Amino acid sequence: MNGYQQHEQQFGTCRLCPIATGVKTFYRSDRTPYCECAYCLSGSNYGRIGVGLEVDYLFIGEAPGPSERIIGHPFVGVAGKVLDALIEDSGISGYGITNLISCFPAQPENKSKFRRPYTEEVQACEPRLSDLIERIVPKYYIALGKEAKKNPPSGVVYALELDHPSYLLRRGGKNSIEYKRNRHRLRKFLETS
């Protein structure tokens, strides 16, 4: 059993907070989760993946959105495509993607609409994120958005803070000045790291 399988065995059935759903919590550079579960091997577009957990850069967002709730992996929706483009345009490799919390925080009155995670949910998910960080030991942490910036996991110091991909999407996506500014910051960071 590899490190991610051990992580998923421990946290895949998490019930530490009211919104817990047991979704996958991490992606590597080739956009595949680190596991060999039946879902990943079932011929889905995620394909079979390796068993290592080596990443140099860990992008940490806030929480899954509606698309991620359905698919069960971080940053696979429209904002995820903006993040993919940003990463590709900057030339980064050897990265992973996760969120502060791994379950979709729905609004109480409309279960399909996103809301900011409650402090208690972020705190409840901290052991899951800390365990993942201990297993992958990234060299650099990159915050995606204000919430990730405000709530770094225990012991994490962000090397870089970027705007959240959903914000970039609302500002015009790849054509926005904000996207270009974030791409420039990421490229500059890569030159010095």
In a domain, 37, yes or no: yes
pLDDT exceeds 60 at position 167? yes
Tokens of 90: 């900057």
In a domain, 17, yes or no: no
* Owning domain of residue 101: 3-10+22-192
The pLDDT of residue 9: 65
Average pLDDT over the chain reads: 77
The pLDDT of residue 44: 29
In a domain, 16, yes or no: no
The pLDDT of residue 45: 28
In a domain, 98, yes or no: yes
What is the DSSP pairing of strand 110-114 with strand 106-107?
antiparallel
In a domain, 58, yes or no: yes
In a domain, 120, yes or no: yes
pLDDT band of residue 43 (cuts 50, 70, 90) is: very low
Based on the structure, what is the number of domains in the chain? 1
* Residue 58 identity (one-letter amino acid): L
We report the CATH number of the domain holding residue 83 as 3.40.470.10
Q: What is the pLDDT of residues 10-21, one digit of tens each?
A: 666 666 666 665
In a domain, 142, yes or no: yes
In a domain, 15, yes or no: no
